Structure 1
Amino acid sequence: MTTKIILDTDPGIDDAMAILFAEANPNIELLALTTIFGNADIETGTRNALYLKERFNLQCDVVKGTDKPLYREPVGASVAVHSENGFGGIAIETPTITADPRPAFQYIIDTVKASPGDVTLVAVGPLTNLALAYNHAPEIAELIKEVVIMGGAFGTHEHTGNVTPFAEANIHDDPHSADIVFTAPWQVTIVGLDVTHEAFFSSDYIDTLRDTCGEVGQFMWDISRFYLNFYKERMGVNGCFVHDPSAIAYVIDPSLFTLRKGPVRVVCDGPAVGHTLQKYTDTKHKTDEWSDMPAQNVAIKVNDQALLDLYLDSMTSYGAE
């Protein structure tokens, strides 16, 4: 069964890997790329999305999103991880195509209302566009099939944060929006560091993508040089964790993941800003600002080898077309 998705993305290197994965797998119909600040600023990220659409003949819409968080001061693009141009510094031609004229939040509202119950929102960057869509039209919560998030860290397998000791980057960039999205009355599945740090694209694996996936494999290899250098210098590993593609893998095959259910809140200020916390027991407390919130799914385990096989198989088939 094909799942229609809007992919809300801050196109950096692992975003490109996720975008092409969504395009490659026949179980996903990629309706749109809605862009958001994060790995790159909004102009660069939107340019990168348009570049991917034009270079690889993607049939999806590209829609420019907001350029700043709801309330907090922007923390800036992740240049040290993704480079100044978001794609590892490789040469990027200026796209000749343009984005949809609507703001991303309005595009989300319009598309969901036009296809009630059919559209899954997949967000792999800060959640501001989703929060704006919900704030402007809360009725869409009943019309969306599912919201799938790459973000957060809940301490499973000792994975607690990557930009602070207790915060993951996408949530830290706009914690207020994340708290809105996690507490809205729609079904959310959070694919965070608890599982993305359990799957690993080794440098040999990325070499295999280059050698077996045609032009798209070469492109992913090219943009990953900067990314892998960051991982080697920062963490001493030869490869990278599977962040954004893991959210796409969940949409394709949820059975790859073990989920834990319970309401989720986000710390919105102080030294732990961006920290995600799930209440997954029925314990009663005198003060409990989780208890009245909807129970959401948090991924806590992943079949990492099956995920790697799914990605390689999808991209190899796509590269051969």
Structure 2
Amino acid sequence: MKRLIIDCDPGNGIAGANVDDGLALALAIASPDIALEMITTVAGNTPVDVGYRVAQDLLNRLGLTIPVYKGESQALQEPPEPWRQALDQRVHQLNLTHLWQGVRQPLAQDTPTHDAVDAIGQLICDHPGEITLVAIGPLTNVARAMQRYPQLAESVAEIAIMGGVFALDDYLKDTNFGLDPEAAHQVLTSGANITLVPMDVTTQTLMTHQDLDRIAKIDKPLARFVTETFRPWIDYSMKTRNLSGCWIHDALVVAWLLNQRVASATDYLADVELRPGPTRGKSWRYRQPLRVDVGIQQPAGGMVHVLQTVDNTLLLSMLEQALAASEY
């Protein structure tokens, strides 16, 4: 059984916010091979307070007492205002808030007394080699934890990250790395055992309304949570991304930990551009030996295991089977 911390920025039930974090949480909760020991939230897809409210509300609905801690509210250096404008206001600018009409809002929650950064660092360092950290938002919490707990990189069993984009025509950067490039750089080059799930592979995933219809037939709280929060997001993705459904980025990270047949992967040296300009926050990767290495000090970047292709049929099957078999 894998012992997990999930560090995330969920937006289920929030107009215009991505819902894939919630699906990753649902898969982890539903899977008997995973012990989800802690959830932490970070500013990203949603502000950190909103993400905390989404995660705690889900657990309250299920009657679960998994600890949830609120983490960093802004990046190490990147100014938050342009990102919050883009992430929080676009649904209003497009006049698509009506898609969430009737969707249950996550209830307000009491503020936790313990800090997510310390909670991450303490649990991992107190149990070396036993905890897998699933980081599916910006890496601010993880970077801060590494700063406070220098032994974290060698103590964590694995850090499975959703972030980065290498070669998609419509993207120079993704939200997770773009919102906090310094944190992404620090984590990727930390020497920890890292699996990276970039947008290059997650945009090969797809969930349609027809796929969701099958989940809707499962009469259990987790399946109902997925169904009600994914309906408007699929419609929103179809209107704004010209898709026939929606991508399920973060769920692939948890699915990979459960069954590595769901994707293929290759080792690369990888890092993130930090310099000002249009490529700030862009991720890059390469394998040695380079055919042209002039001006490059070897090796540059950190060695990471990068997912490349996905079996979307298997991914959807894993999700459906886990939700159907879950006691929640």
The question of a shared fold, defined as TM-score above 0.5 by the shorter chain, is answered with yes
Provide the alpha-carbon RMSD of the alignment: 2.3
Match for 2:88 among 79, 93, 112? 79
Aligned residue among 227, 232, 251 for 2:233: 227
What is the Cα deviation at residue 11 of structure 1? 1.1
Q: Counterpart of 2:107 in structure 1: which amino acid?
A: T
In 1, are the aligned partners of 2:129 and 2:157 still within 8 Å (CA)?
A: yes
* Residue of structure 2 in register with 1:195 after alignment: 201
Q: How many residues align?
A: 311
Tell me the equivalent position of 1:274. 281
**Candidates 133, 136, 143, aligned match of 1:124:** 136
Is residue 76–residue 182 contact of structure 2 (8 Å, CA) maintained in 1? yes
* One-letter amino acid of the counterpart of residue 275, structure 1: K
Whether contact under 8 Å (2:62, 2:221) holds in the other structure is no
Shift in alpha-carbon separation, 1:140–1:303, aligned structure 2, 3 A: same
Superposed, 1:112-191 pairs within 5 Å as 112-155=124-167, 159=168, 165-191=171-197
Partner Cα separation in structure 1 for residue 89 and residue 59 of structure 2: 25
Q: Which amino acid in 2 is paired with 1:305?
A: T
Tell me, which stretches of 5 or more residues in structure 1 are unaligned?
A: none
Residue type of the alignment partner of 2:307: A
Is 1:19 equivalent to 2:32 in the alignment?
Answer: no
**Deviation at residue 88 of structure 1 after TM alignment:** 4.9
What amino acid maps onto 2:278 in structure 1?
A: P
TM-fit CA distance, 1:46: 0.8
Contact 1:80/1:230 (CA < 8 Å) preserved in 2?
A: no
Residues 217-255 of structure 1 show CA distances to partners (whole Å, capped at 9, x for unaligned) of: 222221123311221111233311121101111111123
Closer/same/farther in 2, CA of residues 80 and 236 from structure 1, 3 Å limit:
farther
2:136 aligned partner, one-letter code: V
Look up the match of 2:14: none
| Deviating more after overlay: 250-259 vs 287-296 | 287-296
More deviation, 210-219/170-179: 210-219
Corresponding residue number in structure 2 for 1:301? 309
Give TM-score, length-normalised by structure 2.
Answer: 0.88
Instruction: Between 63-72 and 251-260, report the one with greater CA deviation.
Output: 251-260
Question: Structure 1 56/111 Cα, relative in aligned 2: closer, same or farther at 3 Å?
Answer: same
| Residue 94 (1) aligns with residue 94 (2) | no
CA contact (8 A) 1:81 1:230 kept: no
1:36-71 CA-to-partner distances (Å, cap 9, x unmatched) read: 011211111111111011111233210110100000
Residue pair 2:204, 2:310 contacting (<8 A) in 1 also: yes
Deviation at 1:292, TM superposition (A): 4.9
Structure 1 residue 263: deviation in Å?
Answer: 1.5
Distance across 1 between alignment mates of 2:109 and 2:300: 49
TM-score normalised by L of structure 1: 0.90
Is the alpha carbon distance of 1:70 and 1:196 closer, same or farther for their aligned partners in structure 2, counting shifts above 3 Å? Answer: same
SS of residue matched to 1:116: coil
Of 254-263 and 74-83, more deviation after overlay is shown by 74-83
Q: Which residue of 2 aligns with 1:291?
A: 299
- The 1:76/1:97 distance shift into structure 2, 3 A limit, reads closer
**Contact (CA 8 Å) 1:47, 1:94: kept in 2 or not?**
yes
Q: Is 2:143 aligned against 1:111?
A: no
- Residue identity in the other structure for 2:153: A
Matched with 1:6 is 5
For 2:238, the aligned partner's letter is: K
Inter-partner Cα distance in structure 2 for 1:257 and 1:19: 19
Note if contact 1:21-1:315 (Cα within 8 Å) is conserved in structure 2: yes
8 Å Cα contact 1:82-1:226 kept in structure 2: no
* Aligned partner of residue 200 in structure 1, secondary structure: coil
Give the one of 296, 308, 324 matched to 1:316: 324
Identical amino acids, percent of aligned pairs: 26
Deviation at 1:286, TM superposition (A): 3.7
SS of residue in 1 equivalent to 2:251:
helix
CA distance in 1, matches of 2:213, 2:89: 23
| SS of the residue 2:138 aligns to | coil
Q: State the alpha-carbon separation in 2 of the partners of residues 138 and 254 from structure 1.
A: 30
